[in-house]
Amino acid sequence: MLERARRSIQLTELGRVFLPHAESMLAAIHDGEHAVRAAAREGEDVLNLAVVGTLLDTHLVDLLRRFTHRSKEVVVNLTTSTSQGISQVVRRGEASLGIRYFAESSRTLTSHTIAQETMRVVVAGRHSFRAGRTRPTGGLDKQRWIGFAPVRRQPESFGNILRHRLGLVGLGDADVMVVDSLSAQKRLVEAGFGVALLPESSIREELRKGSLRILEGSPLEVTIPIVVIHRSKGYLSPTASALLTTLRKDK
């Protein structure tokens, strides 16, 4: 099932085939433990929630705060990761619910759209650039971009979204500085090193301070879905079910 590479150990092809079945067995064990604790009502009601870090904006944090304040016995444990990582921890049963970008294609996970996120082109607050509406590129053909690296087989990754949008307006060969941190991307744009395509929820504080500015009407803007996921046949505690209902009603 395992083979040794130069500096690591990785799964063989048979191991990759077996992996989802092993994850399902482990998730079923987690389900049994949670169901027994809920039936016995022992100790605190712990809810494991996985969220893409950029989605932890003020609105979602306030919603979670209000939800936990309804009962002093509810404890929410948060895990942050990429959208792909969120699906993995939910599939393994390490989190009951996950909040990520884009619906999951796997039949083992169920997705519910709870919001829409707009990706906006941003520049430094004092940048003199203005987006032009009379040109397909909006005048962005001479700008340097700052973004994530594209991820193979993950079209929903921010790096792939940026390159796809650039290609749609004829900027497929644009200069992109790869920076693997959203916070670092914002700081670099603020300093005038380039422009970026960023989720609007992640830049609210910078917009308020005026350190970043949105290029209104940019042809690269795109709206993407935010979803909450759970295992299709997995156990959801009463608390997890209540939070799922709250998230779906809040959209």
Residues 180-219: pLDDT tens digits? 999 999 999 999 999 999 999 889 899 999 999 999 888 8
Residues 148-190: pLDDT tens digits? 999 887 888 899 999 999 999 899 999 999 999 999 999 999 9
Domain ranges of the chain: 2-115+226-249, 117-224
Distance in angstroms (rounded) separating the CA atoms of residues 71 and 56: 21
Tell me the C-alpha to C-alpha distance, in Å, between residue 159 and each of 141, 147, 156, 201: 18, 6, 8, 17
- Fold agreement (2-115+226-249, 117-224): yes
In the structure, what pLDDT confidence band is assigned to residue 233 with cuts at 50, 70 and 90? confident
2-115+226-249 has CATH 3.30.70.890 classification? no
Find out whether 192 and 45 touch, Cβ atoms under 8 Å: no
The 3-class secondary structure across 140-173, one letter per residue, is CCCCCEEECCCCCCCCCCHHHHHHHHHHHCCCCC
Tell me the C-alpha to C-alpha distance, in Å, between residue 57 and each of 37, 41, 64, 190, 227: 32, 32, 11, 20, 15
Say whether pLDDT at 92 is over 70. Answer: yes
Distance in angstroms (rounded) separating the CA atoms of residues 236 and 13: 32
Distance in angstroms (rounded) separating the CA atoms of residues 194 and 146: 6
Q: Which CATH architecture has domain 117-224?
A: 3-Layer(aba) Sandwich (3.40)
Q: What is the pLDDT of residue 151?
A: 87
Cβ-based burial of 129 (10 A; exposed 0-12, middle 13-18, buried ≥19): middle
